[in-house]
């Protein structure tokens, strides 16, 4: 049972609190109990929603979903009661109390008013859940990776084609306004970085956050028979499915999938080869590699580009998680975390190209790298420490939880007001190479990917 | 409790370090709980930081007049606690004072001086701003712009509370949680934790069991602590420690008590529904137990 807060209010007397709260009210914060804010859509415009998988990621999605007007939550489904409670709790205040299910087939059978299903289960369940929902006539938003196997991912695309229903894959950066702004303005419209020849990206996670999760409280354990019914050997597998072959693709697909998708998206190409190295360098008993380094080759419209990606689960060093597009004239470093985002200009690049961009306010010069006030006179060279590259900030703010725009895009597409930013067809192509990273590392060889390999 | 049984884990978050000590010999079992805790802090930071785009607090601070937003249960709970602390301290504990932070610290966290004009403008914005925290649901409305919420005075203590609930859900080990070394939460199912209250020249130990301790001082927080709307005066003390049943409460009260005189502190304590202990380090370096109230 989830424990509640250990105190129920700080005041000896609740009335004292309410009486005294006028003091704070005068300081700008007041307690309110008014009518919940009006939702934009009327009852007939509402989209019925169910969520399969209300664990960590499912709860993150629910915290975004509840901000989107016009949704009615009919059902939550999870095999663990602990997760279901968290899911229900996340929906507090929405005015709906969804039905809860352990079995998704029973949910699909009973919940006739569900229009769209959000799938946030372990990777090996994505294909069975998604295919069943599509075949039942529901639109599906499924978390990445599409599946732990290529066959699974293919079956999802085929089911979407056959059902005519929408399938959005949860590469949420595709709907992030900052990413879209950078792509539109600084890669397509005015290629500020010049020709992008190299890319690198990383997601490094500290050892302290990478340990196995275990649970000792008997009251929270799921019976073994039930776990096995749903494809898990035991509770350890259930809580740490990302480390197990057959259940996931390991860290490269867990963390890398988002960022390698951005490589493809920004380069407007898919890899022609993958070379990878990985190992169980620290966690000797894990099935998947704990550290992976990979190189992707691309044939872009401008020529060859090479991309390096690493996912490390034994260190947080190296500046967190980002994607960096390195061109002949500059470098675009972007991340879901805005503080890791910057655009750099190579020193020899003519400022005339950048002036219109700066003039329109599309970029802001970073104060720390602004040019010195006095330039040296012609024919002389100042001797000083190396100057940093001129750096610029991107003035686009995402004033929503990170996943919300992508979910909004999904529901806008259901209403016919938008097209999907990451449908299953595109996601398959973008995830295809990721499926070959572990294979390349296991076999210690370069894997060549032909254009026809990407077709379904 | 044997020192050799202790397992220590540490991670960076919320612009400080979080630390967990377990009194159990099984490092793998303890490491598993630490990982769970550190991932949770990372998630909480993404909800409670005013600097992270898309966080609940960031979204609240960018509300326009007449707008409402749904927020997470965690942020809602923290805001309600912060409001209670604000009321308890007659507004001295003030999460709405975020607009003053750029006047006392630069982007790098260094103390700075700002002109009277900037202070006047910030005060006016602060007075004009008004948010409604809906008590019955996790939602915030903006009645007037100007407030900038900052949970810096309570967020770390609140994070310890949330971690404590999570760890207690998963296991039944004894542990000591620390946020930045200034706020502690001790969970002792079978034993207590000995912790030091160290001033400049004096110090002593106390036992913590199923309770929290928080310390605030001008030395480490400096200009972070601002007594807004009150006449400036010499501080009575260098440091304050507050021991009580809730880490968020202790975190917030230790900050507020630093600025209060003894009469004000006693008034606050008389309103509380549970026992707390308060120590102060005076300007001469002497440490005194101010008060213990047993409800």
Which tens digit of pLDDT belongs to each residue from A399-446?
999 999 999 999 999 999 999 999 999 999 999 999 999 999 999 999
pLDDT score at B231: 43
Q: Which of residues 134-173 of B touch A (CB under 8 A)?
A: 134-139, 141, 146-147, 161, 164-165, 168-172
* Residue A38 pLDDT > 50: no
Number of domains in chain A: 1
Instruction: Tell me the CATH number at A190.
Output: 3.30.360.10
Facing A213 at nearest CB: one of B36, B147, B274: B36
For every residue of A15-62, DSSP letters joined together read HHHHHHHHHHHHTTEEEE--PPPPPSS-GGGPEEEEEE--SHHHHHHH
- Answer yes or no: is pLDDT of A36 > 70: no
Summarised one tens digit per residue, pLDDT across range A245-294 is 999 999 999 999 999 999 999 999 999 999 999 999 999 999 999 999 99
Within 213-242 of B, beta carbons closer than 8 Å to A belong to: none
pLDDT at A96: 87
- Domain topology for B56-144: T-fold (1.10.3980)
Quote the CA–CA distance of A47 and A415 in Å, as a whole number.
Answer: 9
Average pLDDT along chain B: 86
- Predicted confidence at residue A25, as pLDDT, reads 58
Distance from the first to the final alpha carbon of chain A: 46
Average pLDDT, chain A: 90
Average pLDDT for residues B197-226, to the nearest whole number? Answer: 78
Selected residues 301-320 of chain A with any CB under 8 Å from a CB in chain B:
316
pLDDT tens by residue, A161-189: 999 999 999 999 999 999 999 999 999 99
pLDDT tens by residue, B47-90: 999 989 999 999 999 999 999 999 999 999 999 999 989 888 88
* Residue A287 resides in a domain: yes
- Tens of pLDDT along B139-165? 999 998 888 999 989 999 999 999 999
Alpha carbon A427 to chain centroid, angstroms: 13
- For residue A269, the number of C-alpha atoms closer than 13 Å in the C-beta half-sphere is 21
User: Hey, where are the domains in chain B?
Assistant: 56-144
pLDDT at B223: 39
Q: Say how far apart CA B44 and CA B280 lie, in whole Å.
A: 31
Q: Residue A3: what pLDDT?
A: 47
**Is the CB of A17 inside 8 Å of chain B's CB atoms?**
yes
Q: What is the pLDDT of residues A71-108, one digit of tens each?
A: 999 999 999 999 999 999 999 988 889 999 999 999 99
Q: Which residue has the tokens 């601002």?
A: B226
**What local confidence, expressed as pLDDT, does residue B263 receive?**
87
Position A61 scores a pLDDT of: 98
Q: What is the mean pLDDT of residues B99-125?
A: 77
Residues making up chain A, counted from first to last: 456
CB contact under 8 A, B246 and A7: yes
Kindly state the average pLDDT of the residues A217-237: 96
Domain that holds residue A336: 176-367+386-396+425-454
Residue A378 belongs to some domain of the structure: no
Question: Does pLDDT of A5 surpass 50?
Answer: yes
Please answer yes or no on whether A7 and B273 come within 8 Å at the CB atom: yes
Question: Per-residue pLDDT for B275 more than 70?
Answer: yes
ipTM of the complex: 0.87
Residue A338 has pLDDT above 70, yes or no: yes
What distance in Å separates the CA atoms of residue A451 and residue A154, rounded to the nearest whole number? 16
Starting at the edge strand found earlier in the chain, the sheet holding A390-393 runs A364-365, A390-393, A342-345, A330-334, A321-327, A196-204, A303-312, A291-300, A271-279, A447-448
With beta carbons less than 8 A apart as the criterion, state whether A177 and A396 touch. yes
Q: Report the range of poorest mean pLDDT among A35-39, A348-352, A356-360.
A: A35-39
pLDDT at A386 over 80: no
How much is the pLDDT for A370?
A: 62
Measure Cα distances from A214 to A236, B25, B35 in Å.
Answer: 6, 16, 10
Residue A260 belongs to some domain of the structure: yes
The larger pLDDT score, comparing residue B58 to residue A366, is at B58
Please indicate if any CB of chain A lies within 8 Å of the CB of B106.
no
């Amino acid at each position: 049972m989830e424990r509640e807060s250990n105190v129920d209010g700080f005041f000896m007397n609740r009335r004292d609190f309410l009486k005294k709260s006028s003091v704070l009210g005068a300081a700008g914060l007041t307690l309110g109990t008014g009518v919940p804010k009006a939702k934009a859509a009327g009852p007939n415009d509402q989209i019925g929603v169910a969520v399969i998988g209300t664990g960590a990621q499912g709860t993150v999605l629910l915290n975004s979903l509840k901000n989107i007007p016009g949704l009615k939550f009919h059902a939550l489904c999870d095999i663990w009661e602990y997760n279901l409670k968290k899911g229900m709790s996340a929906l507090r205040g929405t005015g709906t109390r969804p039905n809860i299910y352990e079995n998704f087939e029973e949910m699909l059978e009973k919940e006739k008013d569900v229009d769209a299903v959000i799938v946030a289960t372990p990777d090996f369940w994505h294909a069975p859940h998604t295919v069943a929902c599509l075949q039942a006539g529901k639109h599906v938003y499924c978390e990445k990776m599409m599946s732990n196997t290529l066959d699974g991912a293919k079956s999802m695309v085929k089911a979407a084609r056959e059902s005519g229903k929408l399938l959005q894959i949860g590469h949420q950066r595709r709907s992030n306004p900052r990413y879209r702004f950078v792509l539109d303005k600084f890669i397509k419209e005015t290629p500020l970085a010049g020709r992008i020849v190299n890319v690198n990206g990383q997601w490094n996670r500290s050892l302290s956050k990478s340990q196995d999760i275990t649970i000792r409280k008997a009251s929270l354990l799921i019976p073994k028979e039930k776990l096995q019914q749903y494809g898990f050997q035991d509770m350890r597998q259930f809580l740490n499915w990302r480390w197990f072959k057959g259940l996931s693709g390991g860290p490269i697909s867990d963390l890398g999938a988002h960022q390698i998708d951005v490589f493809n998206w920004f380069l407007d190409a898919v890899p022609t080869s993958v070379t990878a190295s990985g190992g169980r360098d620290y966690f000797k008993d894990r099935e998947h590699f704990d550290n992976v380094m990979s190189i992707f080759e691309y044939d872009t419209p401008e020529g060859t580009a090479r991309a390096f990606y690493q996912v490390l689960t034994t260190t947080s060093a190296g500046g967190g998680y980002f994607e960096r597009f390195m061109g002949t004239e500059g470098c675009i470093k972007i991340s879901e975390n805005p503080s890791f985002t910057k655009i750099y200009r190579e020193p020899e690049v003519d400022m005339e190209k950048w002036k219109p961009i700066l003039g329109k306010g599309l970029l802001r010069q970073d104060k720390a790298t602004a040019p010195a006030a006095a330039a040296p006179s012609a024919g002389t060279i100042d001797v000083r420490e190396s100057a940093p590259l001129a750096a610029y900030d991107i003035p686009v703010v995402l004033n929503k939880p990170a996943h919300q725009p992508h979910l909004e895009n999904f529901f806008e597409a259901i209403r016919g007001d938008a097209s999907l930013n990451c449908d299953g067809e595109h996601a398959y192509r973008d995830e295809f190479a990721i499926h070959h990273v572990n294979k390349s590392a296991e076999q210690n060889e370069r894997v060549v990917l032909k254009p026809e390999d990407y077709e379904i | 409790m044997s020192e050799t049984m202790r397992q220590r884990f540490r991670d960076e978050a919320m612009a400080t370090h979080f630390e967990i000590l377990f009194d159990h010999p099984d490092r793998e079992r303890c490491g598993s709980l630490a990982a769970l805790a550190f991932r949770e802090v990372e998630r909480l930071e993404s909800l409670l930081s005013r600097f992270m785009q898309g966080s609940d607090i960031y979204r609240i601070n960018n509300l326009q007049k007449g707008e409402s937003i749904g927020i997470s249960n965690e942020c809602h709970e923290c805001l309600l606690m912060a409001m209670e602390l604000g009321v308890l301290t007659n507004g001295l504990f003030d999460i709405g004072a975020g607009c003053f932070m750029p006047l006392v610290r630069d982007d790098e966290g260094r103390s700075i001086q700002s002109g009277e004009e900037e202070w006047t403008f910030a005060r006016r914005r602060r007075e004009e701003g008004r948010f409604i925290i809906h008590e019955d649901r996790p939602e915030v409305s903006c009645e007037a712009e100007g407030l900038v919420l900052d949970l810096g005075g309570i967020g770390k203590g609140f994070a310890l509370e949330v971690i404590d609930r999570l760890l207690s859900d998963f296991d039944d080990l004894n542990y000591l949680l620390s946020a930045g070394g200034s706020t502690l939460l001790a969970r002792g199912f079978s034993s207590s934790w000995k912790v030091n209250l160290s001033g400049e020249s004096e110090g002593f130990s106390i036992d913590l069991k199923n309770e929290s301790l928080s310390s605030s001082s001008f030395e480490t927080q400096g200009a972070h602590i601002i007594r807004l709307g009150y006449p400036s005066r010499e501080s009575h003390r260098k440091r304050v420690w507050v021991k009580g049943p809730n880490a968020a409460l202790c975190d917030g009260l230790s900050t507020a008590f630093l600025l209060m005189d003894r009469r004000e502190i006693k008034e606050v304590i008389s309103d509380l529904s549970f026992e707390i202990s308060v120590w102060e380090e005076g300007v001469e370096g002497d440490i005194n137990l101010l008060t213990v109230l047993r409800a």
